[in-house]
Amino acid sequence: MSQEINLHTPQSLDKLQETALLELEAIKNESSAEEFRIKYLGKKGILRLLLKSLGTMAPEDRKVMGAKANTIRALVESKFQEAHWRSNTEDTRDRSFDPGLPGFPFHQGSLHPLMQIRDEIRDIFSSMGFSIDYGPEVETDYYNFEALNTPAHHPARDMQDTFYIDESIVLRTHTSPVQIRVMEGQKPPIRSIMPGRVYRNEEISSRSYCLFHQVEGLYVDENVSFADLKGTLLAFSRRFFDEKTEIKIRPSFFPFTEPSVEIDVRCFLCKGQGCSICKKTGWLEVLGAGMVHPNVFKSVGIDPEKYTGFAFGMGIERIALLKYGIDDIRLFYENDARFLQQF
């Protein structure tokens, strides 16, 4: 596209600048922006041809006109970029949007309720001087059973329906194997809790699932007594449930502790009066515990004549069900946002 150039006075350049700026203001869309670019800034545009024509001027005129022409070109190019951006945004902009309004709040995620319970339990025992240890979820039969005083064909194995990968490898049925690994790697005194997932081949129902979470605890030192176990669990229960919480100790059986007990707490919902959660008894079963069996100490090379200790284990799902008054364990695993957002 060729343009007739007859701009050899400063006044004519001023007129050119005025005309170009007026046309820039008229740009409203991509098409008009492209027309302006070709007319003024293209290879055969007015400004390009103007600069080429300076070579025919006298030297004294070329200096004045060249400086003015370059200033106009820079101004027009700058204004064109602004107008070009405006033409690309105005047609697509949501004109109902008010940039002066405050921003919309974004929904923030949170920890899963089971992880909230886990962290609360962890923090309480950490403040009592317990360290935190973890172990593999895929275990050997030795760590999951034999080292815990449960040899092959022991009737206690029937208490746990196990997922076997092969004859010697299992998905751990409890977090107790971590106790063995901790005692193998540390010398007493040992004070540790061990949270993690465990697996059992159980029928899925409102009260049971094929996987769940536990927190195991272990304290080993000289002269550790059953009174230490009772005091530790009472202190935990009062911090986790209620400052006036009472505990009840019932005899039980676990192959890796002797004596073995189960711990109930006074129902924190009905305050012991009896409700549907505690099945009208006024008490809630929360964990199993006991003094570490001497055979367990022997399996890890700790002298049972010199050291004693206690261990305990609690199910996080069970405590969450009790604390939140939930009647179906499956809700924790269905990922229903309506349920999870309540926590």
Count CB-CB contacts under 10 A for residue 34.
Answer: 14
The two structure tokens encoding residue 233:
């669990």
DSSP state of 108: P
Half-sphere exposure in the Cβ direction for 184 (13 Å, CA) = 11
DSSP state of 164: B
Q: Give just the sign of the alpha carbon dihedral 81, 87, 90, 92.
A: negative
Q: Is 99 helix (H, G, I), strand (E, B) or coil?
A: coil
**C-alpha gyration radius of the chain:** 40
CA dihedral 81, 86, 91, 96 (to 10 degrees): 160
E strands, the chain, in order? 131-132, 138-140, 169-171, 190-199, 211-221, 247-254, 257-266, 283-292, 308-315
Topology of domain 113-340, CATH? BirA Bifunctional Protein; domain 2 (3.30.930)
Q: 203 CB contacts (<8 Å, ≥6 apart)? A: none
CA dihedral 146, 258, 288, 296 (to 10 degrees): -30
Between strands 308-315 and 283-292, the pairing is antiparallel
The pLDDT value given to residue 105: 78
The pLDDT value given to residue 95: 57
Instruction: Report the distance separating Cα 208 and Cα 298, nearest Å.
Output: 34
Instruction: Report the distance separating Cα 153 and Cα 200, nearest Å.
Output: 18
Residue 316, CA distances (Å) to 217, 287, 313 in order: 13, 10, 10
Looking at the chain, the number of H-run helices and the number of E-run strands are 11, 9
Q: 327 CB contacts (<8 Å, ≥6 apart)? A: 206, 321
E strands, 54-179, in order? 131-132, 138-140, 169-171
Residues of the chain with pLDDT under 70: 1-10, 83-97, 159, 277
Instruction: Report the distance separating Cα 255 and Cα 10, nearest Å.
Output: 105
The pLDDT value given to residue 7: 58
Count CB-CB contacts under 10 A for residue 330.
Answer: 14
The pLDDT value given to residue 83: 65
pLDDT tens, residue by residue, 273-305: 887 767 788 888 889 999 999 999 999 999 999
Contact 233, 245 (CB under 8 A): no
Q: Is 187 helix (H, G, I), strand (E, B) or coil?
A: coil
Give me the residue spans of the domains in the chain. 10-90, 113-340
Residue 8, CA distances (Å) to 53, 64, 74, 76, 145 in order: 9, 10, 19, 19, 101
Instruction: Report the distance separating Cα 144 and Cα 175, nearest Å.
Output: 8
- For 151, phi then psi, to 5°, come to -70, 175
Between strands 247-254 and 211-221, the pairing is unpaired
